[in-house]
Amino acid sequence: MDELDLTLPPELESALIDFYTGPEPDRAFTSRLDLELQQRYEIISQAPRKRKDSFMQALRARPALAILLVVLALLLVSGVAYAIGRLTGFIPGFGFTTGDVYVLDMPIEASENGITARVENAVQDEIRLWVELSVRHPSEGDHQSQAYILLPTGEKIQSQRGGVIIPDTGEQRLTFIFPALGDPSQLVTLILENSDGQTVQMKLNLRSAQSDEVLPILPGNKLPVQGEFSAGMALVLENVAMSADQTVLQVSLHFDKPGISLAGPWDIVMTDDANRIYPLTSRLIRWISV
Amino acid sequence: MSDFTALDDPALVEQARHNPEAFAILYRRYLTPIYGYLQRRVENVHVAEDLTGQTFMEALDGLKHNRYRESGTFRAWLFTIARRRLVDFYRERPFVELIDPPSSEPSLLATLEMNDDLSRLTHILKKLDPEKQELLRLRFTANLSFAEIAMLEGKTEAAVKMAIYRILDFLRQAWEAENG
């Protein structure tokens, strides 16, 4: 393979050899480089073999590298978790967006009998429908309100419970929870009735949540729930979102001192009163220093 | 004292990892081709010497630190280093001083003036593009095999052989045309 089947004229062949025969290096240079290479050889051979630093030693010696690795790891973890979350229909931190989830199409407002009510949010999953609204009453005072859903069939569904928050504005922020509607796509009527028997009605139009839509979280005064501090830290349940096949618990870990973080691998386990373990299927970790 | 001169390259390379004499043999074996190739490329004695020194220093470091693997040949690896140093050199200094110190040997120009055939060949070679000139340098100055050139150029051995065949055929035709 290393021979060419080509015959060149002898003069050309000779000229080629003459032309391409490289010039000889200067003898002084040859000797000098020879000596330098010998010295270099000795230096390399005598130099103690550099011990490879352990990974942790390298990290200690190079804080910037450690920080960079942590950031990269967090990006990787959160990125993968977010991607998995999106695939499974969960928007991290907010709730489920796929399956039979319906949301308020747009805020609605109505005024009747001196009562002004505005529905801010409404979300129906497979278990319940919750409605959040702000209400302004004609007179100040403790207005105990009730809410109903009036179906097209004439059936009236009463709210299971309601939370009341009264901020400085004088408005009531109310949340009512109903059983899940059989057909959430149908137009239903929300009826709000105060303790004086005055009512205000609004047409509640729900639409199917889009796959990438961010859902509002049920407001309430039962969450967050914080456990007791143990070894300087406490687990706090921030939010719960449920779908047909999984439940998402948004928890955070609180430390009693600033500047503390968890070291090493850790996991979270959920059990019930009967010590049944509910397996963790996926997790999203966010590190927020407060 | 061991006689390493009879050893082939692979055996010599293994010895050179822990025996300076073996490395010295390798150095002497390839000093002239490496230097000649670099001299042809830069046309400057000082630069060629400097690059040659860098090439062998890097080869020594590579052998001692096991960076050389028997995937190709030692000669091809050496020329890979030399060409890398050349690239670095041109990156740092795009223009090379063409003034060489006076030499006791006849200059290239003087040699050309003395030899009509060489003068004619030089004239023909100028018609070749740089890539083809490099192939001829690797083949005739560096004395690399087609397989070694293929490795350096990232081509197949057959493609290199065909390319050099065509270049030589072009030279032959041009040579015969000039000679009438």
Instruction: Say what percent of chain B tops pLDDT 90.
Output: 33
In this prediction, residues A37-53 reach a mean pLDDT of 73
* C-alpha span between A248 and B127 (Å, rounded): 74
Look at A239 and B124; give whichever has higher pLDDT: B124
In this prediction, residues B91-95 reach a mean pLDDT of 65
Q: What is the largest CA-CA distance in chain B?
A: 59
Interface test with A, best of B40, B50, B75, B114 (most A CBs within 10 A): B40
A15, B115 Cβ separation under 8 angstroms: yes
The verdict on a CB contact (< 8 Å) between B45 and A8 is: no
A179, A129 Cβ separation under 8 angstroms: yes
In this prediction, residues A10-24 reach a mean pLDDT of 84
B137 to chain A, minimum CA–CA distance in Å?
A: 7
The pLDDT tens digits for B50-88 are 999 999 999 999 888 877 776 678 898 999 999 989 888
What is the pLDDT at residue A184? 87
The verdict on a CB contact (< 8 Å) between B27 and A36 is: no
Domain boundaries, chain A: 55-87, 102-208, 225-278
Count CA atoms closer than 13 A to A273's CA, side-chain side.
Answer: 0
Three-class DSSP category at B156: coil
Three-class DSSP category at A109: strand
* C-alpha span between A36 and A217 (Å, rounded): 74
Residue of A nearest to B18 (CA): A45
Residue of A nearest to B167 (CA): A6
Q: Which residues, other chains included, contact B124 with Cβ-Cβ below 8 Å and sequence gap of 6+?
A: B171, B174, B175, B178
Interface predicted TM-score (ipTM): 0.81
What is the pLDDT at residue B52? 95
- How many CB pairs below 8 A link A and B? 119
Instruction: Say what percent of chain B tops pLDDT 70.
Output: 84
Q: Does residue A232 surpass a pLDDT of 90?
A: no
CA A255 to chain centre: 21
Look at A17 and B106; give whichever has higher pLDDT: A17
- Identify residues of A whose CB sits under 8 angstroms from chain B CBs: 1-2, 4-6, 8-9, 11-12, 14-26, 29-30, 33-34, 36-38, 40-42, 44-45
Q: Does residue A178 surpass a pLDDT of 50?
A: yes
The verdict on a CB contact (< 8 Å) between A41 and B64 is: yes
The verdict on a CB contact (< 8 Å) between B140 and A16 is: yes
Lowest-confidence range among A121-135, A182-196, A247-261?
A247-261
> pLDDT category, B31, cuts 50, 70, 90?
very high
CATH-assigned architecture of domain A102-208:
Sandwich (2.60)
Tokens 């929300």 sit at which residue? Answer: A190
Lowest-confidence range among A224-238, A271-285, B22-36, B37-51?
A271-285
The verdict on a CB contact (< 8 Å) between A4 and B164 is: yes
The pLDDT tens digits for A89-99 are 444 444 444 45
Chain A residues with CB-CB distance to B27 below 8 A? 33-34, 37
Average pLDDT, chain A: 74
Residue of A nearest to B139 (CA): A20
In this prediction, residues B113-138 reach a mean pLDDT of 84
Q: Which residues, other chains included, contact B153 with Cβ-Cβ below 8 Å and sequence gap of 6+?
A: B135, B138, B160
A131, A138 Cβ separation under 8 angstroms: no
Chain B residues with CB-CB distance to A35 below 8 A? none
Interface test with B, best of A12, A14, A36, A44 (most B CBs within 10 A): A12
Look at A243 and A98; give whichever has higher pLDDT: A243
Q: Does residue A272 surpass a pLDDT of 60?
A: yes
B67 to chain A, minimum CA–CA distance in Å?
A: 14
The verdict on a CB contact (< 8 Å) between B60 and A30 is: no
For chain B, list the domains and their CATH numbers: 1-99 (1.10.1740.10), 107-180 (1.10.10.10)
In this prediction, residues A25-30 reach a mean pLDDT of 91
Q: Does residue A284 surpass a pLDDT of 80?
A: no
B32, A26 Cβ separation under 8 angstroms: no
For the ranges A81-85, A257-261, B35-39, the maximum mean pLDDT occurs at B35-39
Chain B residues with CB-CB distance to A43 below 8 A? none
Count CA atoms closer than 13 A to B116's CA, side-chain side.
Answer: 4
* C-alpha span between B160 and B154 (Å, rounded): 10
Q: Does residue A101 surpass a pLDDT of 70?
A: yes
The pLDDT tens digits for B130-159 are 889 999 999 988 889 999 999 888 889 999
The set of long-range contacts for A254-263, using a CB threshold of 8 Å and a minimum separation of 24, is A254/A226, A254/A229, A256/A229, A256/A232, A257/A232, A258/A289, A259/A289, A260/A232, A260/A233, A261/A287
Helix (H) or strand (E) holding A44: helix A27-46
Q: Does residue A148 surpass a pLDDT of 80?
A: yes
What is the pLDDT at residue A91? 44
Chain B residues with CB-CB distance to A20 below 8 A? 40, 136-137, 139-141
CB atoms within 10 A of CB A221: 8
> pLDDT category, B34, cuts 50, 70, 90?
very high
Q: Pick from B125, B137, B172: which is nearest to A9 by CB?
A: B172
Instruction: Say what percent of chain A tops pLDDT 70.
Output: 59
Q: Which residues, other chains included, contact A154 with Cβ-Cβ below 8 Å and sequence gap of 6+?
A: none
What is the pLDDT at residue A237? 78
Q: Is the peptide bond before A63 cis (omega within 30 degrees of 0)?
A: no
A256, A229 Cβ separation under 8 angstroms: yes
The verdict on a CB contact (< 8 Å) between B137 and A20 is: yes
Tokens standing for residue B59: 């080869």
Q: List alpha helices for chain B, DSSP H.
A: 9-16, 20-42, 45-64, 74-92, 108-114, 116-125, 130-136, 146-153, 157-178
Helix (H) or strand (E) holding A169: none
